Amino acid sequence: MNYYSPDDNHLKLRSTRFVRRMFAMRQLGTLLCFCPILSVLMESGKGVIPCALLFINAFVWPYLAWQLALVSEDPTGRERTSLTLDAAFGGAWIAIMGLSPMPSFVIMAILIADRYAAGGWPQLLAALQAFLVAFTLVWGVEGWPLTMSFTSRTVWLTLPLATVYLLALSVVSYNLTLSLRMKNRELERIALMDPGLKIPNRRLFERRLESEFLRTRRGESAAYLMLIDVDHFKAVNDNFGHEAGDFLLAEISALLRDGVGLEDIPARFGGDELCVIVRDAQDSSIVALAHTLKARIAQLRLPASADFNCSVSIGIAPASQADSIHHWLRHADNALYRVKRSGRNGVHLWQAA
């Protein structure tokens, strides 16, 4: 029995998606190429063998390439080889058609766009090399034919290839771009969140702090910064263990998420210090909120001690009285330390002298 790590499973899933996507595009492309190429072959008086080979290329090869990729130890690598073979097949058919302009140039344009979309320059260069080698060999074997005329039937049969396939390629490319953008946003969100507390970390906090400071300076908001320090947090770690300290911070974080407004931003400031950016408030409302949070935090208990009492010191500063983000932080920090110097377990709002 094979066992895969989470990373292995993720890579396997990505490879499967890539193979499935390429199978769908190959199936569509060979189907749309079949009719205009067959039209040129019939107009050129080609025999049964070229038409039979075209049928195999159009209706058998996509399933064969799919199966080869699925049973391969490296499905993505196997599929990239098949994409190169697709280009070689395209070169061979263009040579057999004698460079018939209408289907030939559309097929070449689609091969270039599709190979580049599938693997960038490395895949495109490999495809171009295979295309030129196959085209030169087959064209020479055919006696260097050159067919410059084509019927209206060939034109009409080429139009679906020139429109439907390119439209499908655009849709696939857009969906891939959209998926990548969403994944990048999710990765950025994860990177900017504290995994243990499930609130923004210092990096995201600083971004939001700058945003709210600018909004306040423009008169669009009246933001306040609230710094929250757990009193005697070191004693919690020393007496009950670091797990208890982590549990306490997580409980306080959950309380902050539930206790502040939907547009307010709780975050981890550093160590045992938490913070909240309150977007729109007044002196009286922000002080009332701080006392409410302090009272709710005082009700928290540790699993290891039902008698444990948690207290916090809270310093508050308005953005409107700061000249810069640095000053805003310093004002809140000064308010916090004033509470600590007064014996902790209190709230202080910084005000200009």
Residues 210-228: pLDDT tens digits?
999 999 999 988 999 999 9
Q: How confident is the model at residue 7 (pLDDT cuts 50, 70, 90)?
A: very low
Residues 41-99: pLDDT tens digits?
999 888 899 999 999 999 999 999 999 988 888 888 898 999 999 999 999 999 999 99
Residue 2: the pLDDT is 41
**Architecture of 199-349 per CATH?**
2-Layer Sandwich (3.30)
- Cα 325 to its chain centre, rounded Å, is 31
Map tokens 């058609």 to a residue. 97
Nearest to 229 by CA among 98, 332, 91, 151: 332
What is the C-alpha to C-alpha distance for residues 298 and 311, in angstroms, rounded to an integer?
A: 6
Map tokens 């014996």 to a residue. 343
Tally of residues, the chain: 353
Note the pTM of the prediction, 2 decimals. 0.58
Has residue 10 got a pLDDT over 80?
no
* Domain assignments of the chain as residue spans, ordered by start: 6-189, 199-349
Residues 314-353: pLDDT tens digits?
999 999 999 999 999 999 999 999 999 999 999 999 987 6
Q: How confident is the model at residue 14 (pLDDT cuts 50, 70, 90)?
A: low
Residues 168-208: pLDDT tens digits?
888 887 887 787 788 777 666 666 677 778 888 888 888 88
Tell me the two tokens of residue 296.
């709710």
Q: Which residues contact 75 (CB under 8 A, 6 or more apart)?
A: 15, 16, 18, 19, 69
The mean pLDDT value for 293-316 works out to 90
